[in-house]
Amino acid sequence: MTVSSPAAPFGRMLTAMATAFHDDGTLDLDGTARIAAHLVDNGNDGVVVSGTTGESPTTSVEEDGQILQAVKDAVGGRAKVVAGVGTNDTRHSVELAVQAEKIGVDGLLLVTPYYNKPSQAGLVHHFKQVVDASDVPVMLYDVPPRAAVKIELDTYLRAAEWDTVIAVKDATGDLTRVPRLIDAGYAVYSGDDAATLGFLAHGGCGLVSVVGHVAGRELAEMIDTFLAGDHAAALTIFTRLLPAFDAVMGVPNYGATTAKAALQLRGVLDNRNVRSPLVPLTDDEVAALRAGLEASGLI
């Protein structure tokens, strides 16, 4: 029997990648390029730059351009490069979208504005301004735990009328939305590593990961195995990765902090520097992270 896999316009296995910093807090572009190359060498067919894990709330427009260019130069010929352009200021997001198009990205990740809690009409207005600023394909990002606003289905239906809005990164935890979004014309990516099998079972096309910093090959194999119809084998991979999921996502300030510590454990980075208000993992937290990764056979 031939199994039909859903279209994945930005690749199937993407990681929302960390941004490297020097000890003085300045950008480490060589380190950032090294992270991108590591990801693509290890199972990722796409990377998301300057998302939450990339610490985008603490980087300037100029820095975002430098980061994006470094990643594009490092892996642009081998993987899809998606630029995070979502902020809580529409003008800022428009500026980032225009810059990203000039650099030549494959897609834009557009998160709901955080903190200011716009209405659904406000979301439509914000999204439309940013979408109209470029011709680059767009992945909307729905993450209520961070943004405090959820994209309602009617808003998705409005946005689906715009030609370049083609995908969703969903971190709502509501699997029943997946087939509804697919019916509306979207490619749906899981925004939560631990929910990926559920998303695939409901018609999702792939994953935008954090754990992919250290488990890209394994997660890609899990996705491919599931989509090939061997669900039991995919579940076996998933079960083996559970300690890593818990270790990476179980820290209160997970994301950049855990990704960088994991990259340090893997020898990709020589530090775990983050920008305030984040603080690096403590030695005890790194020890717990190491234990989880070891339990999953990742280090």
List active site positions: 141, 169
With b for 16 or more beta-carbon neighbours within 10 A and e for fewer, the 165-188 pattern comes to bbbbbbbbeebebbebbbebebbb
**Other CB atoms closer than 10 Å to residue 206's CB: what's the count?**
30
- State the DSSP string of 22-74: -TTS-B-HHHHHHHHHHHHHTT-SEEEESSTTTTGGGS-HHHHHHHHHHHHHH
What's the DSSP call for residue 11?
Answer: B
Strand, helix or coil for residue 187: strand
With b for 16 or more beta-carbon neighbours within 10 A and e for fewer, the 3-28 pattern comes to eeeeebbbbbbbbbbbbbbeeeeebb
Q: Assess contact for 21 and 275: CB atoms under 8 A.
A: yes
Q: Give CA 67 to chain center in angstroms.
A: 15
Rg (CA), the chain: 18
**Other CB atoms closer than 10 Å to residue 151's CB: what's the count?**
25
